[in-house]
Structure 1
Amino acid sequence: MSNLATSPNNVQVVGLMYHNVCTNRGADGGFPGFEALSPSITSYFVDEVTFERHCQLIASSERAINFDQLNNPNSEDSVFNPRVLLTFDDGWRGTVDVGGPVLEKHGLHGLLFVTTDLIGHPDFVSLETLRQGDLPFSVGSHGMSHRLLAELSDADVEQELAGSKSLLEDILGKEVDSLAYPGGSYDGRVQEIARNVGYRWIFTSKPHVSQGTSDRLQMGRLAVKSNTSDEMIARWLCGDVRREQTREIVLSAAKRVMGRRFYRSIRTRLLSEQRGQLEMTDLSDQFLPAQVK
């Protein structure tokens, strides 16, 4: 019996935001093979054992939904509230190769947001993988280059969002109507462009419980990090995100007071980032995007 319950219209939805799922962790707590990456990236990775435990919790809660159920709500079987939607940003290869079998084992389904300039990169999904019809994932856009959209011109925002949407639709042979903002960066201008480009479901990094279709242009998500405990996952499954909302308020206030540049310098120190470590945009800048054939 599937663990996927059916989503009623405007049901409360908790979005879990994963990134990469890795086979294991090193003795130092890092992720072998990704030493060149900034902690701003790898702090959002989880290992397979941890992901397995999370999926066990989610499946046993009987709250899981998939993107198709969110897109086509039904009033039946709406006993459990809130519902839980698993999302995965960037399009890491480990998400599919390592995380995919775990999802299938527990009867779960994910929503994979792909950075299109990285399709075919050794650490990211390939064209061939995306074209497989039996993946336990729906596919959405994460922009082209992972640049922060709120810092771009209108023309560049439209290029990022329309270009990635068009490419994914060519690859998949069907409409792509979901988007997750790279780095959670957006403003009213970006949201309007995204809507005009044709995205009907837009996911943020704001830690709030969404009201189904009412919040479809600003769906909230909880960031799952390397140090996210099982207790935190269990709390989020019940819709208790008050601590995360308080933290978001404090961080937003700090950004306003310090200014974006100074806040980033403080964040760099707290994460112990080292000179020369790669960010997401470095990966896309250094890689020649795959050509659709």
Structure 2
Amino acid sequence: MYHSIHARPPAGTADLAVHPEAFADQMALLAERGFTPVPFSALDTPARKPIVITFDDGYADFHDHALPVLAGRGFPATVFVTTGWLADAGADAAGRPLDRMLSWGQVREAAASGIEIGGHSHSHPQLDQLRDAALREELTRSKGLLEDRLGREVATLAYPYGYSSARVRRAARRAGYTAACAVANALAGARRDPLAVPRLTVRATTSPETFARVVEGRSVTRTYLRDRMLTKGYAVVRRSRYAAGRVTSR
């Protein structure tokens, strides 16, 4: 899971911004070790050492730095787009992007280059804290805009911040998504919920040695132990917060 590919990112994205040279080196390592990148929707397609390369949010630096590297190697990837954040969203603009965002033209160019485009909500809220009507609007509006602009079905989703719940996953299924990404920082095993597929976070601080280990499936639990403990603890807090909000709003 990538976010930004940027040499000098703004403060709000610095931890999740991978330097362009580091990203190029990581893609070279995948090629050298015989991995077969596939789009997220094709995760279950038989392939030798399949791996899914994803990007959340839709930052403009994907077009600047990641797309040329991917295209040069013939690597597919999946970009999950926050439709209300796009640079030329116009009347559909919503939320507060943290950096420069892709334009609709760049999204179409990426799709034409073999990049899978998925949904990432419309305004990037914490979906598990929304009431049902607002949740449905976030999921369907994003999907509808992407399908209208791209002229193709959009059936994959990544939850903003990785936050979901059984209620959010049911809403995603009703909205027409057939597969969705969480974070979880675990390997995607064969027995998994298709609407909560885990991913491994690549950060600015991810060393070449760490990247090499985790893509080969080694030391994953140890590498991401702190992340996973925080995620589980915060999930309890978030469920309690939503339940308390429901009681308060009645």
Band the TM-score falls in, shorter-chain normalisation: 0.7 to 0.9
2:65 to 89, 98, 119: 98
Q: Secondary structure at the match of 1:204?
A: strand
Q: Does residue 135 of the first structure (1) align with residue 113 of the second (2)?
A: yes
Q: 2:34: which partner in 1?
A: 62
Q: 2:138: which partner in 1?
A: 160
More contact order relative to length (CA 8 Å, sep ≥ 6): 1
Distance 1:201 1:212, change over 3 A: farther
Contact 2:183 2:198 in 1 (8 A): yes
Corresponding residue pairs, total: 226
Q: Secondary structure at the match of 2:203?
A: coil
Distance 1:244 1:193, change over 3 A: farther
Alignment of 1:273-288 (within 5 A): none
Q: Secondary structure at the match of 1:223?
A: coil
Report the alpha carbon displacement of residue 205 of structure 1 after superposing the two structures with TM. Answer: 0.7
Report the alpha carbon displacement of residue 118 of structure 1 after superposing the two structures with TM. Answer: 1.0
Q: Using the alignment, how far apart are the partners of 2:36 and 2:75 within structure 1?
A: 7
Report the alpha carbon displacement of residue 47 of structure 1 after superposing the two structures with TM. Answer: 1.4
Q: Does residue 231 of the first structure (1) align with residue 209 of the second (2)?
A: yes
1:116 to 78, 83, 86: 83
Distance 1:94 1:229, change over 3 A: same
Deviations 1:237-257 (A, max 9, x none): 111211245324421454378
Q: Using the alignment, how far apart are the partners of 1:213 and 1:131 within structure 2?
A: 33
Q: Does residue 182 of the first structure (1) align with residue 160 of the second (2)?
A: yes
2:102 to 121, 125, 140: 125
Q: 2:245: which partner in 1?
A: none
Q: 1:279: which partner in 2?
A: none
Q: 2:93: which partner in 1?
A: none
Equivalent AA in structure 2 for residue 181 of structure 1: Y
Q: Using the alignment, how far apart are the partners of 1:254 and 1:68 within structure 2?
A: 28
Distance 1:69 1:185, change over 3 A: closer
Segments of structure 1 that go 5 or more residues without pairing to the other structure are 1-16, 26-30, 261-293
Q: Using the alignment, how far apart are the partners of 2:228 and 2:65 within structure 1?
A: 34
Q: 2:222: which partner in 1?
A: 243
Report the alpha carbon displacement of residue 198 of structure 1 after superposing the two structures with TM. Answer: 0.8
Q: Using the alignment, how far apart are the partners of 2:154 and 2:85 within structure 1?
A: 17
Q: Using the alignment, how far apart are the partners of 1:178 and 1:64 within structure 2?
A: 20
**Worse-matched range after superposition: 104-113 or 119-128:** 119-128
Q: 1:5: which partner in 2?
A: none
Q: Does residue 205 of the first structure (1) align with residue 183 of the second (2)?
A: yes
Contact 2:78 2:116 in 1 (8 A): yes
Deviations 1:29-86 (A, max 9, x none): xx3xx2xx42xx3210111111111111111122232217716724xx54x3xx2110
1:148 to 121, 126, 137: 126
> Deviating runs (4+, > 6 A) in structure 1?
none
Equivalent AA in structure 1 for residue 27 of structure 2: C
Q: Using the alignment, how far apart are the partners of 1:243 and 1:72 within structure 2?
A: 26
Report the alpha carbon displacement of residue 107 of structure 1 after superposing the two structures with TM. Answer: 2.4
Segments of structure 2 that go 5 or more residues without pairing to the other structure are 89-98, 239-250
Deviations 1:250-289 (A, max 9, x none): 21454378x56xxxxxxxxxxxxxxxxxxxxxxxxxxxxx
Distance 1:192 1:71, change over 3 A: same
